[in-house]
Structure 1
Amino acid sequence: MSQRHRTVRKAPVAIVGGSGFIGSNLADSLLSDGKPVLVIDNFSRPGVEQNLEWLQRKHGSHLSVETVDIRDQSRVASALAPAKAIFHLAAQTAVTTSLLDPAKDLEINLKGTFNVLEAARQAGAPVVFASTNKVYGSLPQIAVREADDRYEPADDAIRANGVDETIGLDFCTPYGCSKGAADQYVLDYAKSYGLPTAVLRMSCIYGPRQFGTEDQGWVAHFLLSALSGRLITIYGDGKQVRDILHVSDAVAAYRAVLARIEDLKGQAFNLGGGPRNAVSLRTLLSEIAAITGRDIALHHELARTGDQPFFVADTRRIEAALGWRAHVPWREGVRDLASWLLRHRLQPLPEAQRYVA
């Protein structure tokens, strides 16, 4: 074949943890727009291969796949060498697992992120990193009062707008420490090396292609349990409040940040549903009972270490920077997820490992 007629493959966007819940939705969005995508994953979480098979059936040769554990520095560097941009979503995702095995949590979340950053520095590729609201700790400085079905802040501004990025970092639990340290490393690579990086501190993301467990993906876990007639364990009294964000809105935010990465480099943003999508566990369970048309069996345990009685993301900063906003109302989004689960995941799932790299 002559040089003139040879097909030149475009550099891919790499998604580390790309077979997971958010990663597979992000990959689908990019691939649907004709952008080549490289999925990097170790496929350790049962069921994520279904997400990969779905992507491969839908997008074929535009999708490349590398089986890599992010703890393996040389393999990470090699796999990411051709990437023009990197979304880093791989993590050990559960507080409980981090308490049981803090060494593995550290290796995956901090050393793994360091490996991704070094590979990105070698490749000259920007990085958008998935952080967590757990970097703010249990938020003891936010006084809450108890209402009928929820906790709410005593502070009027926080009650109206949520918790903003100035609240201050306060790492708690090994998971909070590993993700928080990784968060800071990502930001520092913009300062120290000029690498275009940005951080999204996520609240609770939910939607299709999610595997729900007690420790991660709790909206899907509640729905799956209710649809299957399984007992749901509530840690605490169920009045904890979170803002939930549909994955389609999360994907839009990730893509918007990458599109403006040179302007936003070195910055961290809260990403969640905001006050309009804030629900207590009790409120969500009531909605699920209405969706399923059946009573929900509940069991209560003590509140877990580091749990926040109230976290609602103040998203005004990312809205101002990008013109982004959450479009899917939480009731509509939860019904959408219930419909998807009925079609694709109603069979009881095996107990999932709570990490994916």
Structure 2
Amino acid sequence: MAPIVFRGPSIFPGQPCAVAGRGGENGSICDRPGSGGRRCLPCRHGMRAPPQNEIDRSVKLRNPGASKEGAGHRVSAEASKSVSVVTGGSGFIGLSLVERLLQDREDVVIFDRSRPPAEAVAYLEGLPGKLTIVPGDVLDAARLGQCIDTFKPSCLVHGAAVTPNMQSERRDPALVLNVNVTGTVNVMEQARRRPGMQVICISSSGVYGDVAQRRDVVGDTVSELLPPAPTSLYAISKAAAEQAALRYRELFGMNIIVARVGVAFGPWERDTGVRDPLSVHLMLARLARQGARAILPRDLSKDWVYSRDVAAALAALKRASLLSSTTFNISGAAAWPASDFARRLASEFPSFEYRCRPTAEAPANIDLHGAKDRPVLDISRLRDEAGFVPRYGLDEAFTDYVAWMRRFEHWKQNMMLSS
């Protein structure tokens, strides 16, 4: 099924008709093949708008007229349409979620400044759900509002973010704060105009800060009850975005939840230009495909979470009938060392070598994004309220990831880039 792709700014009512592809008077005939000679509809600005059937064909109803509950809120019958808007849907986690929802026969609208790679779009168009791609920036509140008004989603998943490393934070700190905080406020402002719509705010376990150094951590897990103590500008911006979103929930009775994603890796991760810290697994896989040597500063152990599990967890939260909590950790079931992944890569790619002891002559070429191991994230709330249990342990994730890397040419080429 081919995706419906609207290009440029002229895709919403109130702007020149994108279907006819040219300007014209209100009520003039749309000459696009297949339009049936339908007249373009007039809009409030006196410009041509897309024929309604061109917009309606991107929306598929699921149980029309039914209502559902979620996050302690009852959703209206109008919001029962099976359409989800995903901001940042071309990115790592966003694209993983888009894939999952399409596989589940849901209709998805990607709202993102950039398009997914062409190979990804070609793959996604073969899935059962219907895909629409809308170019847009969360800093453009009006355009986001037009997208919501046009597609009337039952769920808006806010995943658009800038994920910088320290160098990027120094280079453009304002960009990080604008996109991650102001962008979130724009999303909340537009979402509150559509009562009953579910909003899932994708956040990060980075809001907990340097957990290994915190003295208020009790036990060997990190639960959602641990107060945020962010240190990096990225984590500070995500914590602020979380709090803003939850305050909107309180002020306006909105159906909003926050999902704190742990250390993720897997399919669809790539260097997008706004996500600097690549996962250890992607860096190792790149070196393995290059037949190079990986040198880790130490053997880091974490509760890594596979991107397919992240997508499944977000889908479970979206579909949960009633959630009593507002914030959920998403992570893997158990911690395992990075060397276990590297060892499996070495067996798959015989010319690849790795070691965990850098020297002056051979310094580390893998960034572990942390000097110490932290306790694992407690995901019992996610299990108890949404019924989600991770499927991918080390072996399952490795097998799936290698098969995926070998399937897609875009990622084969991306893997050959310098780390």
Say whether the fold is shared (TM-score over 0.5). Answer: yes
> Do structure 1's residue 24 and structure 2's residue 84 form an aligned pair?
no
- State the partner residue of 1:148: none
Which runs of no fewer than 5 residues in structure 2 stay unpaired? 1-35, 37-52, 62-80, 356-362
Residues 162-177 of structure 1 correspond to what in structure 2 (within 5 A)? 162-177=221-236
Residues 1-357 of structure 1 correspond to what in structure 2 (within 5 A)? 9=59, 10=61, 11=81, 12-43=83-114, 48-58=117-127, 62-81=130-149, 82-96=152-166, 97-124=168-195, 125-142=197-214, 157-158=219-220, 162-211=221-270, 215-230=277-292, 232=294, 234=296, 237-260=297-320, 263-264=323-324, 267-274=326-333, 276=334, 278-296=335-353, 299-300=363-364, 309-344=373-408, 345-348=411-414
Q: Answer yes or no: is the 8 Å Cα contact 1:196–1:261 preserved in 2.
A: no
- Superposition TM-score, scaled by structure 1 size: 0.81
Measure how far apart 1:115 and its partner are: 1.0
Q: Which amino acid aligns with 1:290?
A: S
Q: RCO greater where, 1 or 2, for CA within 8 Å and sep 6 or more?
A: 1
Residues 131 and 322 (structure 1), Cα distance of their counterparts in 2 relative to 1, 3 Å cut: same
- State the partner residue of 1:146: none
Residues 305 and 63 (structure 1), Cα distance of their counterparts in 2 relative to 1, 3 Å cut: closer
290-299 vs 91-100, greater mean Cα deviation? 290-299
Aligned length: 327
Q: Answer yes or no: is the 8 Å Cα contact 1:203–1:244 preserved in 2.
A: yes
Which runs of no fewer than 5 residues in structure 1 stay unpaired? 144-152, 353-357
Report the Cα distance in structure 2 between the residues aligned to 1:19 and 1:292, rounded to whole angstroms.
Answer: 29
Residues 164 and 99 (structure 1), Cα distance of their counterparts in 2 relative to 1, 3 Å cut: farther
Report the Cα distance in structure 2 between the residues aligned to 1:282 and 1:41, rounded to whole angstroms.
Answer: 35
Report the Cα distance in structure 2 between the residues aligned to 1:229 and 1:325, rounded to whole angstroms.
Answer: 35
Report the Cα distance in structure 2 between the residues aligned to 1:229 and 1:110, rounded to whole angstroms.
Answer: 41
Measure how far apart 1:311 and its partner are: 4.5
Residues 349 and 15 (structure 1), Cα distance of their counterparts in 2 relative to 1, 3 Å cut: same
Report the Cα distance in structure 2 between the residues aligned to 1:87 and 1:281, rounded to whole angstroms.
Answer: 30
Q: Which amino acid aligns with 2:287?
A: S
Measure how far apart 1:80 and its partner are: 2.1
Residues 70 and 311 (structure 1), Cα distance of their counterparts in 2 relative to 1, 3 Å cut: farther
After superposition, give the CA deviation of every residue in 1:202-227 in whole Å (9 maximum; x if it has no partner).
11222222226871333223212211
Q: Which amino acid aligns with 2:124?
A: L
Q: SS where residue 165 of structure 1 aligns?
A: coil
Q: Which amino acid aligns with 2:153?
A: A
Q: SS where residue 227 of structure 1 aligns?
A: helix
After superposition, give the CA deviation of every residue in 1:244-286 in whole Å (9 maximum; x if it has no partner).
1222222221111112375346x11111003x2x123333323
Give identity over the alignment, percent.
24
Report the Cα distance in structure 1 between the residues aligned to 2:111 and 2:98, rounded to whole angstroms.
Answer: 11
Report the Cα distance in structure 1 between the residues aligned to 2:183 and 2:371, rounded to whole angstroms.
Answer: 25
Which one has a bigger Cα radius of gyration?
2
RMSD between aligned alpha carbons? 3.1
Q: Answer yes or no: is the 8 Å Cα contact 2:162–2:180 preserved in 1.
A: yes
Q: Answer yes or no: is the 8 Å Cα contact 1:257–1:264 preserved in 2.
A: no
Q: Answer yes or no: is the 8 Å Cα contact 1:110–1:178 preserved in 2.
A: yes
Q: Judging by fraction of residues, say which structure has more helix.
A: 1
Q: Answer yes or no: is the 8 Å Cα contact 2:212–2:374 preserved in 1.
A: no
Residues 349 and 281 (structure 1), Cα distance of their counterparts in 2 relative to 1, 3 Å cut: closer
222-231 vs 318-327, greater mean Cα deviation? 222-231
Q: SS where residue 109 of structure 1 aligns?
A: helix
Q: SS where residue 34 of structure 1 aligns?
A: coil
